[in-house]
A and B are shown apart, each in its own frame.
Chain A
Amino acid sequence: MGCRSIHKKLPQYVQGLLSAADARLVDDHILACPACRDELASLRKIWHALDSLPAPAAAASMAPEVLLRIEDYERKRSGPFRSWLAALKPSFAGAAAAIMLAGFVSGALLSSAYYPDTGQAQTDPDSAYAEILSDAPPASFFDMYLQSAGQNSQENAL
């Protein structure tokens, strides 16, 4: 092993992380090579000098901040409607559901009273639209729609 390869192994040698075989190789090389011996000595000094890098001050755990962030993340992820529902207490959610149901039922009852089922065939939708859109100005979108609907019904009649 040449000096260059030995130099790369020296940090692991200092840490005692080399395999027994590699450590023996380094030992043998160092005995015979003053330059690598010097290199090892200066590396040891640097390695120990790093001890003076301070450790962080004792501090409270960041867990509460992290959990708040997660809560916020999950709320955003679940979307505004779901988070709105989740924010509602179950009783409120039940009341909201009951109101929606009541609205649906009363709507159904009112519509059946207003448009009673006469048993007759339903009005042609095109003619229903024609009645509603009869006041459309000429060359407007609705006017063109009525014209094309009229052509279709003529073709169907033929």
Chain B
Amino acid sequence: MRLESLHEETDEKLMKAVAGKHTGALRELMRRHEARVRRLAFRFTGSDDAACELVQDVFFKVYTSAASYSPQARFTTWLYRITANHCLNYIRDSRREPLQQRNQPIDEAGHGLTDDCAMEGQLTCLEKKEQAARVRSAVDGLPERQRMAILLLRFEELSYRDAASALNCSVSALEALVHRGLETLKKQLSDSV
């Protein structure tokens, strides 16, 4: 596979090349999908460092498991499954605090609120920060699979079928996870939203 043609190839064809140890194809897949892995990992763990570590683990896994990838499944679905597994294992295995930046002011981890603050009044800005901190805390308090289910649907905009596949469960099991997670969030955030 020529380097200049990599940009035109489908994810599935690139995966075939990765299975043949073509690291250029892996680099192209990372160019396309690294942001979504980082985004999910960051929202799940609440930590930039953890997200960077997980991005590396996920794409290393993509390389080492490329031979087991079946082109019948969409690459992104497979990638989300690996990402979800790594995120869940990250929390379970290491028993690390889910949110390493939990005690940091939300704008340090929030990236973006600072701009809002420049435009809006200080009071509104403070309220937003507090609100973000409450939501973050409530999301972190959810059991891992419920948290992952909600993040996949809310931010990655996966279909229920794809999100269920990422979590290796049935659609009805996913519905139950989301329902329970949202019920918990509703209780936790009832005063603030």
Chain A's closest residue to B172 (CB) is: A8
Chain A residues contacting B81 (CB-CB under 8 Å) are: none
Contact of B150 among A50, A57, A63, A74 (CB under 8 A): A50
Contact present for B136 and A53 (CB under 8 Å): yes
Interface residue? B15 (CB, 8 A)? no
> From DSSP, what is the main secondary structure of chain B's interface residues?
helix
Contact present for B135 and A52 (CB under 8 Å): yes
B residues engaging A (CB < 8 A)?
21, 23, 26-27, 30-31, 34, 38-39, 42-43, 48, 51-52, 55-56, 59-60, 63-64, 106, 109-113, 128, 131-132, 135-136, 139, 150, 153-155, 157, 159-160, 175-176, 178-179, 182, 185-186, 189-190, 192-193
Interface residue? A106 (CB, 8 A)? no
A125 to B61, CA, bound (A): 57
Q: A11-B178, A46-B182, A62-B55 are in contact. Are A52 and B64 (CB under 8 A)?
A: no
Contact present for A55 and B178 (CB under 8 Å): no
- Binding stretch for chain B, among A65-73, A94-102, A116-124: A65-73
The number of chain A residues touching the other chain, given as a range, is 20 to 34
A residues engaging B (CB < 8 A)?
7-8, 11-12, 15, 17, 42-43, 45-50, 52-59, 61-63, 65-67, 69-70, 73-74
